[in-house]
């Protein structure tokens, strides 16, 4: 060992640490690849679908929340407001997205910015906090707004009355612990062009 020298020992130890970290990262990616695949399989067997017109018998034309991303209504005062597409995907889209969800989800952990090994693991807690703090709030009077949470990103989509304070909603959502980004896409003209995707406007 003395022939290696202190410098050689330090370099060897540093390389060993890097190798161990890389191995841990690869294991994490493999685990979550299996997790999301299992989630997709479970949803394909038990999840509720959103059938599309003229394609009810085509499996890939049925949109589901394959990965159980939080998706719920904060308010529903405007009955004519089109339902956002949210996390609903076809089976083909879900399969195509599986690899990217693992890759995007673990980036935060690999960069030492998350304590959980995948950023999607924060979503249920974020959704619960949004429900607890905002559902029934006076801010949402006269609105129909749905929330989607994916990878610590929060999407607020729906219909509002004239003069609705979108900036206030964005601030309230951004203040929820562990939220990374907020996107507010609302319209006061539900019969016109909408700033969010719906089943009818999905590709």
Number of structural domains (the chain) is 1
More confident residue, 108 or 91: 91
Give domain status of residue 79, yes or no: yes
Give domain status of residue 200, yes or no: no
**pLDDT(13) > 70:** no
pLDDT digits (tens, 9 = 90+) for 41-83: 334 333 444 444 343 344 446 899 999 999 999 999 999 999 9
Give domain status of residue 201, yes or no: no
Name the nearest CA neighbour of 94 among 38, 28, 26: 38
- Continuous H helices in the chain: 5-46, 91-110, 123-134, 166-174
Give domain status of residue 107, yes or no: yes
pLDDT digits (tens, 9 = 90+) for 16-45: 445 445 444 444 444 444 444 444 433 433
Contact call for residues 172 and 92 (beta carbons, < 8 A): no
Please state, rounded to an integer, the average pLDDT across all residues of the chain: 79
Provide the β-strand partners of residue 156.
147, 184
Give domain status of residue 122, yes or no: yes
Q: What is the DSSP string of 11-29?
A: HHHHHHHHHHHHHHHHHHH
pLDDT digits (tens, 9 = 90+) for 97-116: 998 888 888 888 888 888 89
* CA distance linking residue 115 with residue 152, whole number of Å: 13
Domain range for 19: 5-187
Tokens of 75: 């308010």
pLDDT for res 201: 84
Give domain status of residue 110, yes or no: yes
Instruction: Spell out the residues 6+ positions from residue 186 whose beta carbon is closer than 8 angstroms to its own.
Output: 143, 145, 156, 157, 158, 159, 160, 164, 166, 169, 195
pLDDT for res 10: 55
Give domain status of residue 154, yes or no: yes
């Amino acid at each position: 060992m003395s022939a290696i020298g202190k410098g050689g020992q330090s370099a060897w130890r540093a390389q060993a640490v890097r190798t161990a970290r890389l191995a841990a990262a690869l294991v994490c990616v493999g685990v979550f690849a299996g997790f999301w695949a299992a989630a997709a399989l479970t949803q394909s067997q038990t999840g509720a679908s959103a059938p599309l017109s003229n394609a009810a018998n085509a499996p890939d034309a049925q949109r589901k929340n394959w990965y159980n991303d939080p998706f719920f209504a904060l308010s529903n005062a405007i009955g004519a407001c089109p339902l956002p597409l949210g996390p609903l995907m076809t089976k083909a889209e879900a399969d195509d997205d599986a690899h990217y969800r693992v890759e995007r989800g673990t980036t935060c952990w690999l960069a030492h910015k998350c304590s959980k090994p995948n950023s999607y693991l924060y979503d249920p807690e974020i959704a619960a906090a949004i429900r607890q703090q905002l559902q029934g709030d006076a801010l949402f009077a006269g609105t129909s707004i749905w929330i989607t949470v994916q990878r610590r990103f929060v999407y607020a989509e729906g219909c509002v009355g004239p003069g609705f304070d979108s900036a206030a909603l964005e601030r309230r959502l951004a203040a929820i612990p562990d939220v990374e980004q907020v996107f507010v896409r609302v319209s006061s003209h539900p019969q016109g062009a909408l700033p969010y995707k719906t089943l009818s406007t999905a590709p």
